[in-house]
Structures are given as C-alpha cells and as structure tokens.
C-alpha cells in the first residue's frame, strides 16, 4: 500500500505528461474544426507536399544515422583500445558539446556555413572556390550528425566496454585475425548498443524542425517543419495532430525494430 | 629421452613499478603436465600469458620447439588457452564456439562437424551442439571451453585456474578427465592454480612460485615430502615449521629435545628450519614418546581429527584418526624419515623471497 502511494507523483506525471497530451492529439487528429469525426487529417499525409516532406525527413534521418554510425563505431573501438587514463578524457571531449544548448550549437553552424561565414572566408583566403552548403539538405545532415553523434557513441562504447577482454583474447588464441575478431566478435556483441544508438539518432533526426529551420533557411520542409507550421502559423491543430500521428507510427516502427535487436536491453542508454 | 618444447629464458616483466617476474627461466618438456602453483600475485598467470602471447616480456625470450616466438602474436602460435572465466563467445551456440578455431584454419564442413562431435564427447557433453552458452552451468561452460581449445589439436594447452569455479565433486572428475586427455592426446599441459591439491593430483612437475621467483620445482612427491624452504612447506599442505638446531649430521634439536633425522651436510650447531607434517606426528601415552604435551584444541574435519598439542612451548598441529579430548596428556614422536630439515634464509634478500607473498 505504502509502495503504491510512493508511485502516485509519477503516475500523475505520466498522466499529465504523456497520456493526456496523447489523447488530445488523438482527439484533434481525428476531428475537424467543428468537432466531427474525420480521417482526412491523417490521410493528408498523401498530399504531395506532406508526402515529400515526410520522404525527405526519412531520407535525411537515415543518412545522418548512417554517418553517425560510421563515425561512432570506429571511435568507440579506439576508445575501448586506449589506456584508461586517457579514455575518460577523450569520452569527455566527445560528450562536452552535449552539455551546451542545442539551439546554440546549431546556430553556431549557421554562422560557420553562411555565405560570408567562417568556412567560406577560410576557403577564400586559401584561394579555393566557396561552397554554398547553407540552406541545403547537406547542411541539415551536418547539423544532425553534429548534434546527435554523442547519442550514437555512448551506447556503442558502453556495450564494447562490457565485452570481456578474455573473450577477445580467446578469439585471437583460436587463430582469428584482427578483421575476423571485428566481424565475428566485436560487431555482433555490440549490436545492442548499435540498435540503441540508431534509435537515439534516428528518432530525433526524423522529428526535428529546429535544425532544418536554422540550417535550411526556412526553405527546406521536413515533416517536423510542416507540423510545426500547422500548429503555429496556420493554427490548424487538427491537421498538425493528424500528421503527428502518422509520424508517431514511423517512430514506433523504428523503435520496435531496434528493440528486437537489443533483446536484453543492455545497450539502453537512458 | 624428454625433449624440451617450450623454453622461457630470463623473462622479466613489470607492470608499472610492480615487478611480477624477475629473471624467470623455465623449460617445459613434450607431453608433460606442468603446474605453476603459487599465491595470487606470484606471477603464475603472467607466465602463462607470456607463453600464450598475450603479454610480451620486458626482457628475455620465449622459445617454442627451438624457435624464438617472443614477438609472434597469439593467433600465430600453436598454443591454445582455456581462460579462467571460460571466455566463451556469448552470441554463438556451443557448436559454433567449438568450431570457431577450426573454421579459421579452413577445415572442411564435414571435418568440423566430426571434430565438434568428438570434442563434445571428450568432455561428456554429447548432444549439446545447439545449446546456448547462457543456458549452461559453470561446469558445462568450462568443459565447452576445454573442448573449444582441444579440437584444434594444439601442441600445448594453457589452463588458467580452469577448475576454480567448480564444486568439489565436479572438480575431482575434471582432474581425472584432464589426466586422461593428456595421456590420450599427447598434449603438453601448462596449468596454473593456487590450489595445491589440484597441483599434486594432476602434475608431472610442479613449479612453486612466489614473488616472481621459482621457489621449488619437482615432482608432486618431492614438493610435498622434501620442501626446500619454509614457503613451500607452508604453501603445500599443512605443516609444522619450527626453529631447530642441527647438532651434527642426522641429529637435530627442536624445543630442547634431541630428534634423530636423516639429513646430512648442514654443519654442526647450525640454526635450521624443521618441517614436520601434522599426519607424521604419532600420538601415544604420556612418557612413551619423544615429547610430552597436552591437547589444547580438537576439531573433526572429515577424514580425521585436527588437534593442537602444546609441547615444548610450541603448538603442534597434529592430524589423527583417533580423537584425544582437549586437556588430555599425551606423548608425541616422529620417525627420522619424516623430519625435513631446511636451510634458514641467510640473507635479507633470500628472506624477502621466502616470505614476500
């Protein structure tokens, strides 16, 4: 009885923070402005503008997740291999940006990449042609990778660190080359961390509207931007909610797929 | 004629400031079961890891069949290891674990299948191919680790306290299994343990180590019956280690009592260490032995009673199948052959080697 009492504040929290908002979104998503039931808000995803925005968001999220994975796995391997005195420091260096405000970090890239920005000034001084990355999907991917890389590194690093050194030595002992150890021991054993990392990068990348706003210059619409606009400028909560529900389906699918890979939940970062 | 298979020459290894092995040399012969025995931190596991290739010595060389293999990585050595914590691959089933080394050496599928079955039979785990590692008990995992190493037909098998986690019955079974494998397969075993019973049961040769030095090397009988110093006597089995004075050849004075013994060449009136095993002390009626004393402690420990008898100002550890109650007056005697005389450490350094655990 007492234990149940202890849980009440959290129950209240879950109710106010998750269940009620979810119900409200469901309500708005399936009604029109007059309050009558409709599925048109959800089916609106098939309108070309919305479908394109969703497609682009999926593509960019996929690309940035892939880049994060390709960067994070070797990095986590290096971290595992380095002597532990230095290890803590290197991890700290990579985690450091996480402690800075997300908006500031993204805006910093805007300053770096813009036409007269630091990056292009540098290129000009070196007598190289300037690159107009800002306001392109490439800039958005760059921002996503920069913002979300630590969320890929940490879970992979955690699972790699949990692998018993003796297991790796046993593989060498049985004649395995470095490549074989990587392919048959390290990679399969870090799958839970990789799955967790993919979820942690893919989901926020798919839903972001801040990064695409700042680095896309308001010209590139991801599904997140569309939803944001429906709620703010267009004040069409019903359509915004309907599209949110569609996006939620994609999030649930990706999380479900990843949690299959991470059966024991050992890669869980949160 | 015994041929030497592995030679360690003047190996020194330190981890930061901690010298683990100091000018350590050892020869291992073909088809020999050699055990490195010592307390934790004595350098036995480091020695094993140097042979396996997982550590490289700071100085000194390792030879295998006469060839210098000091700089050869572990995956190029014809040596397999059974690790202390088994180190099985958790994401593979039993069969895949055992096949791992065979697949690397590019054996045919039929050969691998055959070998896996043979390996499982060898360790009494027939039909376990498809079992998951996590579903096995500690003893079963240990046997899979053994099979995984043995199917590669290594010339040398290194075992790092492989029986440590097993219960007594299983451990004894495995001890006999290992001896059988050694005789049947002709593999050379290098075995590391801190358990003197394991060492005495299985080994052809026991190397007692302490503080990075070899304290004594010999057959189990030699190590047990004729310990060379107090450390070995103390580490192997229970023993009474007493200060004595060697009066002349074959006569030693312990606790002001003269005992005949069989050792010679210690000089006259020289202080020595004397070792008498608790089971070698014969208890009799008061006045009928060499010393009289009183039982001050008595515990039943299974096969026999373990008693402490105060005699001549020393508390003697005595084992006997007959129980004498606390307070009983008894006499003790010991036959000359069971008195083992050892040099006292002469220098500070020798003493450090002896006592530094």
Decide if pLDDT at B348 tops 60. no
CA distance A254 to chain B (A): 23
CATH number where B137 lies:
3.40.50.300
pLDDT of residue A212: 93
Flag whether B282 is in a domain: yes
Most confident by average pLDDT, A115-124, A181-190, A249-258: A181-190
Q: Which residues of B touch A171 (CB under 8 A)?
A: 89, 100
Residue B232 lies in a domain: no
Q: What pLDDT is stored for residue A269 in this prediction?
A: 44
Give me A83's structure tokens: 């002597």
Q: Please tell me which of the candidates B53, B79, B87 has its beta carbon nearest to residue A166.
A: B87
Looking up residue A127, the CATH number of its domain turns out to be 1.10.3720.10
CB contact under 8 A, B91 and A188: yes
- Min Cα separation B187/chain A (Å): 16
Q: What ipTM goes with this model?
A: 0.80
**pLDDT tens string A25-69:** 999 999 998 989 999 999 999 999 999 999 999 999 999 999 999
User: B221 and B106, same structural domain?
Assistant: yes
- Residues B49, B183: one domain? yes
Q: What's the pLDDT score for residue B305?
A: 93
Q: Quick check: A86 pLDDT over 80?
A: no
A263: confidence class by pLDDT, cuts 50, 70, 90: low
Of all residues in chain A, the percent with pLDDT exceeding 90 is: 64
Helix/strand/coil for B140:
helix
Partners of A160 on chain B (C-beta within 8 Å) are none
CATH of the domain at B335: 2.40.50.140
State residue B1's pLDDT score.
52
- Report the residue from B74, B90, B105 with minimal CB separation from A173: B74
Most confident range (mean pLDDT) of B40-44, B203-207, B299-303 is B203-207
CA distance B36 to chain A (A): 20
Residue of A164, A180, A184 lying closest to B87 (CB–CB): A164
Same domain, B301 and B335: yes
Confidence check: pLDDT of B306 > 50: yes
* A164 within domain boundaries: yes
Residues B194 and B335 in one domain: no
Q: Is residue B332 part of a domain?
A: yes
Report the pLDDT averaged over residues A160-179: 93
For chain A, give the secondary structure using H, E and C: CHHHHHHHHHHHHHHHHHHHHHHHHHHHHCECCCCCECCHHHHHHHCHHHHHHHHHHHHHHHHHHHHHHHHHHHHHHHHHHCCHHHHHHHHHHHHHHHHCCHHHHHHHHHHHHCCCCHHHHHHHHCCCCCCCCCCCHHHHHHHHHHHHHHHHHHHHHHHHHHCCHHHHHHHHHCCCCHHHHHHHHHHHHCHHHHHHHHHHHHHHHHHCCHHHHHHHCCCCCCHHHHHHHHHCCCCCHHHHHHHHHHHHHHHHHHHHHHHHHCCCCCCCCC
Please indicate, yes or no, whether residues B205 and B341 belong to a single structural domain of this protein.
Answer: no
Range of the domain at B348: 239-355
Q: Which residue of A has its CA nearest to B89?
A: A167
Residue of A nearest to B88 (CA): A167
Q: What is the pLDDT of residue A12?
A: 92
- Let me know whether B95 and B243 are in one domain: no
Check B74 against A167: CB less than 8 A apart: no
Q: Is residue A270 part of a domain?
A: no
B248, B205: one domain: no
The alpha carbon dihedral of A233, A236, A241, A247 has a sign of: negative
Q: Which residue of B has its CA nearest to A180?
A: B104
* pTM of the complete model: 0.80
Structure confidence by residue, pLDDT tens digits, B178-202: 888 888 888 899 999 998 888 998 9
Report the gap between the CA of B10 and the closest CA in chain A (Å). Answer: 24
Per the CB < 8 Å rule, is B87 touching A169?
yes
Q: Are residues B188 and B329 in the same domain?
A: no
Instruction: Please tell me the predicted confidence (pLDDT) of residue A261.
Output: 80
Higher-pLDDT residue of A93 and B291 is: B291
The answer to whether residue A111 is domain-embedded is: yes
Could you give the count of Cα atoms lying within 13 Å of B122 in the half-sphere of its Cβ? 26
pLDDT per residue over B119-178, tens digit each?
999 888 999 999 999 999 888 898 899 999 999 989 999 999 888 777 788 788 888 888
- Cβ pair A167:B87 closer than 8 A: yes
Q: How many domains does chain B have?
A: 2
Is a pLDDT exceeding 80 seen at residue B276?
A: yes
Write out chain A residues lying below 8 Å of B87, CB-based: 164, 166-167, 169-170
Do B119 and B53 have their domain in common?
yes
Inter-chain contact A173–B52, Cβ cutoff 8 Å?
Answer: yes
pLDDT band at A83; cut points 50, 70, 90: low
Instruction: Give yes or no for residue B357 having a pLDDT over 50.
Output: no
Residue A209 pLDDT exceeds 90: yes
What is the predicted pLDDT for the residue at B355?
Answer: 47
Region B83-109 average pLDDT:
94
Residue B231 falls inside a structural domain: no
Residue B354 confidence (pLDDT) above 60: no
Interface contact flag, A169 B54, Cβ < 8 Å: yes
**How many domains does the structure of chain A reveal?**
1
Q: Are residues B180 and B254 in the same domain?
A: no
Query: Between chains, do B87 and A170 touch, taking CB under 8 Å as contact?
Result: yes
Q: Distance between CA atoms of A32 and A23, rounded to whole angstroms?
A: 15
| Host domain of residue A231 | 47-261
Residue B78 shares a structural domain with residue B144: yes
CA distance A175 to chain B (A): 4
Ranking A77-86, A155-164, A189-198, B105-114 by mean pLDDT, the lowest is A77-86
Tell whether B189 is covered by a domain: yes
Across the range B294-311, mean pLDDT stands at 92
Contact B274, B254 (CB under 8 A): yes
**Domain final residue, candidates B177, B201, B225:** B225
**Residue B80 is nearest to which of A164, A166, A174, comparing CB atoms?**
A174
Q: Which residue has the higher pLDDT, B117 or A3?
A: B117
Q: Which residues contact B11 (CB under 8 A, 6 or more apart)?
A: B21, B23, B24, B25, B47, B50, B57, B59, B60, B61, B62
């Amino acid at each position: 009885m007492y234990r149940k009492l202890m849980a009440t504040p959290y129950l209240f929290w879950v109710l106010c923070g998750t269940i009620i908002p979810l119900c409200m979104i469901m309500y708005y998503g399936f009604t029109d402005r007059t309050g009558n039931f409709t599925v048109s808000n959800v089916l609106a995803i098939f309108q070309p503008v919305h479908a394109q925005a969703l497609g682009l968001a999926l593509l960019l999220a996929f690309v940035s997740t892939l880049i994060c994975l390709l960067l994070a796995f070797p990095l986590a391997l290096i971290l595992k291999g380095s002597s532990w005195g230095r290890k803590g420091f290197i991890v700290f260096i990579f985690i450091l940006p996480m402690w800075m405000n997300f908006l500031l970090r993204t805006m910093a890239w805007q300053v770096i990449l813009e036409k007269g920005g630091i990056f292009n000034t540098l290129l000009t001084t070196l007598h190289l042609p300037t690159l107009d990355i800002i306001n392109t999907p490439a800039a958005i991917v760059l921002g996503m990778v920069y913002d979300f890389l630590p969320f890929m590194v940490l879970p992979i690093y955690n699972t790699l660190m949990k692998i018993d050194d003796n297991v790796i030595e046993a593989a060498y002992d049985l004649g395995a080359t470095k490549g074989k150890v990587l392919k048959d021991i390290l990679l399969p054993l870090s799958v839970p961390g990789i799955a967790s990392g993919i979820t942690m990068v893919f989901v926020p990348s798919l839903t972001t509207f801040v990064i695409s706003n700042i680095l896309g210059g308001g010209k590139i619409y991801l599904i997140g931007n569309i939803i944001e606009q429906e709620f703010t400028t267009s004040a069409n909560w019903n359509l915004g909610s309907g599209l949110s529900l569609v996006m939620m389906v994609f999030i649930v699918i990706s999380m479900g797929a990843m949690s299959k890979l991470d059966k024991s939940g050992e890669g869980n970062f949160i | 004629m015994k041929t030497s298979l592995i030679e360690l020459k003047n190996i020194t290894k330190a981890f930061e400031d901690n010298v683990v092995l100091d000018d350590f040399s050892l020869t291992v012969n073909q088809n020999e079961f050699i055990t490195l025995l010592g307390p934790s931190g004595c350098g036995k596991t480091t020695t094993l890891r140097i042979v396996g290739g997982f550590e490289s010595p700071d100085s000194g060389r390792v030879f295998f069949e006469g060839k210098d293999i000091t700089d050869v990585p572990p995956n190029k050595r014809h040596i397999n290891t059974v690790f202390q914590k088994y180190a099985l691959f958790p994401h593979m089933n039993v069969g895949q674990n055992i096949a791992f080394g065979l697949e690397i050496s590019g054996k045919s599928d039929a050969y691998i299948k055959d070998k896996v079955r043979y390996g499982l039979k060898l360790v009494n785990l027939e039909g376990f191919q498809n079992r998951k590692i996590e579903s096995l008990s500690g003893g079963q995992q240990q046997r899979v680790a053994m099979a995984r190493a043995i199917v590669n037909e290594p010339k040398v098998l290194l075992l790092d306290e492989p029986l440590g986690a097993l219960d007594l019955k299983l451990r004894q079974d495995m001890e006999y299994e290992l001896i059988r494998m050694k005789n049947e397969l002709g593999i050379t075993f290098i075995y590391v343990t801190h358990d003197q019973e394991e060492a005495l049961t299985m080994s052809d040769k026991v190397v007692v180590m302490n503080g990075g030095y070899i304290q004594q090397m010999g057959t189990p009988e030699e190590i047990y019956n004729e310990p060379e110093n107090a450390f070995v006597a103390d580490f192997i089995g229970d023993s009474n280690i007493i200060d004595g004075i060697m009066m002349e050849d074959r006569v030693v004075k312990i606790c002001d009592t003269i005992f005949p013994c069989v050792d010679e060449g210690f000089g006259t009136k020289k202080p020595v260490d004397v070792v008498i095993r608790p089971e070698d002390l014969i208890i009799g009626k008061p006045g009928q032995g060499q010393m009289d004393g009183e039982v001050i402690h008595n515990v039943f420990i299974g096969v026999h009673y373990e008693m402490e008898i105060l005699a001549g100002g020393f508390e003697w550890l005595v084992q006997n199948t007959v129980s004498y109650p606390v307070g009983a007056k008894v006499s003790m005697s010991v036959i000359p052959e069971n008195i083992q005389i050892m040099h006292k450490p002469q220098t500070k350094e020798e003493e450090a080697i002896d006592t530094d655990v």
